[in-house]
């Protein structure tokens, strides 16, 4: 059986190499057009599309569907599924299962983005080579009952290869229909360039521990100047220990990220419930319990998770009871 030190030879997948070469070449044409020809309205529109697709990936596919760090109502799930379709990363179902596999076998050959093979493999090369010989069975073994029971996920999975190209055509045609952008510019800038930027933004998520995380025994603190370059911190590693914490940002931050802020706003609007997080005291108690009883840390930590939104509601009710 392969372990993290036994590297399984990977064969180059030439159709993928050619596809990504073509995509990046077209994206460079899009970038050139973006600098010299594309209208400002189209640039703003493209930024909005990238923002939406990243939201669909991080808040939707990652935190909601892969890690169940909160629950969302049907309207928000539909919106996030629409946003995730924009990023062209495959159906939510497949993305979430592959991400769960990545967590399950993190840093080993069974991990599709094996970080022990270095940054370029984790970031990009894994797309260009054959996967682990047992990859299909490993994916089948991942528990996906919650995804099977989500009608939005299953609907998007069934219609993905119709929805994704359709959305692509609509998003490319809209600028020329609504504000007279040239279709040529729109195809290369809104189409190829946008998709390439969005893909890189999502690929980098799998390399987060390499870029933003600390090496073992590394003592850089987030208070050093590195914070201005890479924001080195322990939060990427924390995500692999407690992946269900809704506050842990994908890119090395905690509690103050843009996606976390979105989830808090949705919680305030009652669009999401059952947010899962834990505080320092809870982790301390779970560690003591695991050390003294020999129980699994993850089982102990379950007892101390809480929904900050419920706590807030409880505090508000308690305050109302206090007579003036």
Chain residues in the site for Zn ion (CB under 5 A) = 243
DSSP state of 191: I
Which residue lies nearer to Zn ion by CB, 49 or 263?
Answer: 263
CB atoms within 10 A of CB 271: 18
CB of 119 to Zn ion, least distance (A): 18
Which residue lies nearer to Zn ion by CB, 34 or 243?
Answer: 243
CB of 1 to Zn ion, least distance (A): 25
CA angle 87, 88, 89 (to 5 degrees): 95
146 Cβ contact partners less than 8 Å away, ≥ 6 residues apart: 68
| Backbone φ and ψ of 149, nearest 5° | -90, 0
Which residue lies nearer to Zn ion by CB, 28 or 105?
Answer: 105
CB of 320 to Zn ion, least distance (A): 38
Which residue lies nearer to Zn ion by CB, 38 or 97?
Answer: 97
Alpha-carbon gap, residue 311 to 305, rounded angstroms: 12
**Which residue pairs, CB below 8 angstroms and at least 24 apart, start in 260-269?**
262/55, 262/59, 263/59, 263/63, 263/70, 266/72, 266/76, 267/70, 267/309, 268/309
Task: Give the nearest residue (CB) to Zn ion.
Answer: 243
Quote the tokens at residue 151: 């009608």
CB of 259 to Zn ion, least distance (A): 12
Which residue lies nearer to Zn ion by CB, 65 or 192?
Answer: 65
Which residue lies nearer to Zn ion by CB, 193 or 251?
Answer: 251
Alpha-carbon gap, residue 252 to 246, rounded angstroms: 13
CB of 89 to Zn ion, least distance (A): 14
142 Cβ contact partners less than 8 Å away, ≥ 6 residues apart: 97, 100, 101, 104
CB of 137 to Zn ion, least distance (A): 22
């Amino acid at each position: 059986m392969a372990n993290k030190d036994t590297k399984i030879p990977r064969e180059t997948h030439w159709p993928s190499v050619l596809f990504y070469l073509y995509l990046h070449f077209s994206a460079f044409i899009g970038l050139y057009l973006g600098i010299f020809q594309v209208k400002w309205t189209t640039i703003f529109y493209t930024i909005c599309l990238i923002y939406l697709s990243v939201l669909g990936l991080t808040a939707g596919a990652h935190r909601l569907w892969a890690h169940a760090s909160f629950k969302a109502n049907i309207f928000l799930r539909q919106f996030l599924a629409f946003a995730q379709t924009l990023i062209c990363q495959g159906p939510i179902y497949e993305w979430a299962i592959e991400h769960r596999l990545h967590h399950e076998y993190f840093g080993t050959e069974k991990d599709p983005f094996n970080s022990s093979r270095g940054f370029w493999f984790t970031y990009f090369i894994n797309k260009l080579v054959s996967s682990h010989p047992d990859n299909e069975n490993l994916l089948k073994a991942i528990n996906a009952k919650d995804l099977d029971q989500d009608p939005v996920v299953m609907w998007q999975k069934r219609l993905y290869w119709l929805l994704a190209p359709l959305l692509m055509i609509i998003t490319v045609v809209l600028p020329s229909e609504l504000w007279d952008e040239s279709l040529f510019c729109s195809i290369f800038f809104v189409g190829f360039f946008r998709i390439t930027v969005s893909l890189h933004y999502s690929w980098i998520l799998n390399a987060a521990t390499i870029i933003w995380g600390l090496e073992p025994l590394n003592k850089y603190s987030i208070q050093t100047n590195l914070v201005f370059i890479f924001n080195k911190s322990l939060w990427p590693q924390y995500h692999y220990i407690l992946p269900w914490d809704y506050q842990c940002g994908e890119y090395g931050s905690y509690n103050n990220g843009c996606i976390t802020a979105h989830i808090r706003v949705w919680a305030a609007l009652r669009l999401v419930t059952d947010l899962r997080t834990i505080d320092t005291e809870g982790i301390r108690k779970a560690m003591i319990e695991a050390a003294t009883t020999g129980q699994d840390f993850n089982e102990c930590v379950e007892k101390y998770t809480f929904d900050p939104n419920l706590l807030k509601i409880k505090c508000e009710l308690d305050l109302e009871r206090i007579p003036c």
